[in-house]
Amino acid sequence: MGEHKDLMQAREMLAAARQVVVMSGAGISAESGVPTFRGAGGLWREFRAEDLATPEAFGRDPLLVWEWYRYRRQIVAPCEPNPAHLALVALEERVDDFTLITQNVDGLHRRAGSRRVLEIHGNMFLIRCTGCGRERMVWDDDFSLPPRCEACGELERPGVVWFGESLPADVMMAAEEALVQADLFLIVGTSGLVYPAAGLLHLVDRKRCGSLLINLDPTPQSGAVDLALHGKAGELLPALLEDSA
Ligand code: BJW
Ligand code: ZN
């Protein structure tokens, strides 16, 4: 009963919004078969973040880090966007102004058809040279590890943001600009533990911008938004977009 009322209220908030910003995390891709980081079945249950997702780890053992990303690329490659990704494509078409900020590196939002996507933690199919900075997208895994740059011969690294590294400044600036103008901020499928992404909620002007959260489990942000819906993104997001009639 309460749940139904919350869904109705969330639909009303969405229907009234013209400038929408969404921020997604690993939970939105869980129903596509992509493992999350924290929680049941999460990658950080099996692997230590500090051994794999830091610049120090890459400096110590680039081959180990590359092998881990190859393993993850191979998990993601056959995965398909799920109803949650598709609901956001439909939402982008429905509102005047739409920005999707994603912490995910799996590329599934673009594959689903979302157009305005800001990948604040990079993309696992992007490779960047540690020497000259040259970037390339590589979809197959037909290269020997660790790969080297054809232009300068230096080691190449995954084009993702590791702990202790800055997020791409231009992408973060675009995210912040979208947020200060938004009239609805929707947070989906993130534990809300990793900064600066988790801090974006504090940038919204609470007087003009509503905030909604959809996540399987309650998070530190569940109590900080106007309305939190707890459940699967692949069920709740499509339900949110249905006509309330
Ligand atoms: C479902 C579901 C379903 C499941 N439907 N829901 C301020 C305070 C404290 C610490 C810091 C701070 N500022 C900086 C830090 C340090 C650090 C940090 O935040 N640490 C915290 C862990 C404490 N941050 C950084 O280092 C960042 N850089 C930075 O701040 O630079 C400035 C600086 C430089 C030097 C010194 C100091 C500052 C960089 C962070 C980079 C994060 N990188 C990763 C790896 C990317 C590459 C890769 O994939 O390998 O990004 S870590 C990992 O976590 C990945 C994710 O994008 C990120 C967030 O995870 P996410 O998406 O929230 O996933 P989960 O698994 O945590 O949660 C999934 C949720 O989904 C769960 O809640 C489930 O319930 C739910 N779920 N199924 C709906 N079907
Ligand atoms: Zn190079």
**All domains of the chain in start order, with CATH:** 2-33+80-121+166-241 (3.40.50.1220), 42-78+129-160 (3.30.1600.10)
The 10s digit of each residue's pLDDT in 104-134 is 999 999 999 999 999 999 999 999 999 999 9
Given a contact cutoff of 8 angstroms between Cβ atoms, the answer to whether 23 and 187 are in contact is yes
Å from CA of 161 to ligand 2 middle = 18
For the CA atoms of 232, 104, 179, 163, the dihedral, rounded to the nearest 10 degrees, stands at 120
* C-beta 24 within 6 A of ligand 1: no
What is the overall mean pLDDT for the chain? 96
* Per-residue confidence band for 244, with pLDDT thresholds at 50, 70 and 90: low
The answer, yes or no, to whether any atom of ligand 1 lies below 6 A from the CB of 161, is yes
Cα–Cα distance list, 108 to 81, 88, 113 (Å): 6, 11, 9
Note the helical H segments in 147-232.
169-181
Cβ of 106 below 6 Å from ligand 1: no
Q: Residue 245: pLDDT above 60?
A: no
Distance, CA 109 to ligand 2 centroid (Å)? 29
Q: Has 121 been annotated as catalytic?
A: yes
Give distance in angstroms: CA of 113 to centre of ligand 2.
31
Buried b (16+ CB within 10 A) or exposed e, 24-37: bbbbbbbbbebbbb
